[in-house]
Amino acid sequence: MAIESISTNLPSIVGKKEQVQSAVEGFGNILTEFIGDVNQSQFDAASITKNFINGENVEIHEVMIAGEKAKTSLELLMEIRNKTVDMYKELTRMSI
């Protein structure tokens, strides 16, 4: 059994750290974009509801669809938040 030097594995470890940093930044960008989309769907639902109440040319099914889309998007965002917090707690527990 041959013993390898540590320097042969060192460049791959440094490269992985950079990959992890880019993955974290990518996750942050995706999460920020998703939060913006959820916020926009909330505004759209409120706008369509307001137009319906004011008697504009909006059907009731459009109001219901927009409301359910906004609700589902918000619920998904809350679940992502909960899972992320759970993951953080688990990682913190493991590092102690």
Per-residue pLDDT of the chain (96 residues; tens, 9 = 90+): 565 655 555 556 556 667 767 777 888 889 899 999 999 999 999 999 999 999 999 999 999 999 999 999 999 999 999 999 999 999 899 877
For residue 58, report the phi and psi dihedrals to the nearest 5 degrees: -130, 130
Catalogue the E-assigned strands of the chain: none
Catalogue the E-assigned strands of 16-71: none
Half-sphere exposure of 83 (CA within 13 A, CB side): 6
Q: Given this model, what pLDDT does residue 17 score?
A: 67
Q: Given this model, what pLDDT does residue 27 score?
A: 81
pLDDT tens-digit series, residues 53-74? 999 999 999 999 999 999 999 9
Burial of 66: CB neighbours in 10 Å, binned 0-12, 13-18, 19+: buried
What span, in angstroms and rounded, lies between the C-alpha atoms of 52 and 65? 13
pTM for the model? 0.70
